Amino acid sequence: MVGMGSYTRHHERDIMQLTDLIYLRCPTCHAALHLHIGDGINGSVRCANNTHTYLIRQGILDLLARARPSSMAAWSNEWRLTAWAYERIWRPYALSILSGTSFGYDREQAILDGPFAHTRGLVVDLACSNGLYARIIAKSYPQKSVMGIDRSMPMLIEAQRRAVAARLPISYIRADARTLPMRGGVAEGIVVGGSLNEMEGIPQVFAEISRIAAPTSTLVNMALIRSTTFFGKIIQAVLAPGGITFFDPAAMTTQLAHYGWHIQSSTITGIVWFISATRTGA
């Protein structure tokens, strides 16, 4: 997969820095992965058992079969138009709209800066979409390895374009959050930027996040919570059949504690909820 060394050591088109394969495992047999053919732009990797092969396409390691989303929200992320429009039209204004106050990228960066200042090694941007959080972390902490995981190839292609334009060496992998392709205990940091609201199988996702987390890992999650206003409740009820879930903070805090996470900070602005958590008893 895209390895995370110094970007300047590699040719501008050497998108996939293969040293990051050490963090990964085959999603089918759980064996180690190694380069099979190719140059990190297009090629393939194969498991150590020599039974499963996965393609590298446009610098993105694809560990999934054909997309089979089970909700409209998930399907919409498979559209090229959604991937193109996400950071151009929606994302720069989303949190300001949802929180009811000014909430720009600078404010999100400030939230991300603190928890990861002392982490080492790998940071995973889970369900990364266009890779906004991955880019923020890679730019602020060039010494860290950064991976972006998403199951939408159009989203990952757009994320890769943005990372290359910014000259940031970010690893992008197509995979499912319910069966993450990382070895256990390798992630020093994990970020989730609002994507939990669209995910299926949240308990599986939390279990996988906890499995890949190092004993000293930090988790930063941004999620949308249940509205307390009359009109907000109506809007959320309309969105629910499309696969959007709005969380109860107390219930999610309990669920995170069940998987070994302790909330260090929690901030709610409108329906936008940011938490920072660390591992306990890992």
Domains of the chain by start residue, with CATH: 60-279 (3.40.50.150)
Half-sphere exposure of 180 (CA within 13 A, CB side): 28
Q: What is the pLDDT of residue 160?
A: 94
pLDDT score, position 7: 33
Tokens of 194: 């609002």
Helix axes 132-140, 105-113, angle to 10 degrees: 60
Residue 90 is which amino acid? W
pLDDT score at 48: 96
Strand segments, DSSP code E, in the chain are 33-38, 43-47, 53-57, 60-62, 122-126, 145-150, 171-174, 187-193, 213-224, 261-269, 272-279
Which residue's structure tokens are 């010494």?
143
DSSP 89: I
Q: Distances from the Cα of 118 to the Cαs of 114, 121, 189, 217, 238, in angstroms?
A: 8, 10, 10, 10, 42
Distance between CA atoms of residues 201 and 12, nearest Å: 38
**pLDDT for the residue numbered 67:** 66
- What pLDDT is recorded for position 12? 44
141/134 Cα distance (integer angstroms): 10
pTM above 0.85, yes or no: yes
Average pLDDT per block of 10 residues along the chain, 282 residues long: 39 62 94 88 93 93 80 85 95 94 94 82 95 95 92 95 94 95 96 91 94 94 93 88 90 93 95 92 52
Q: Specify the pairing of strand 53-57 against strand 60-62.
A: antiparallel
Res 164: pLDDT:
92
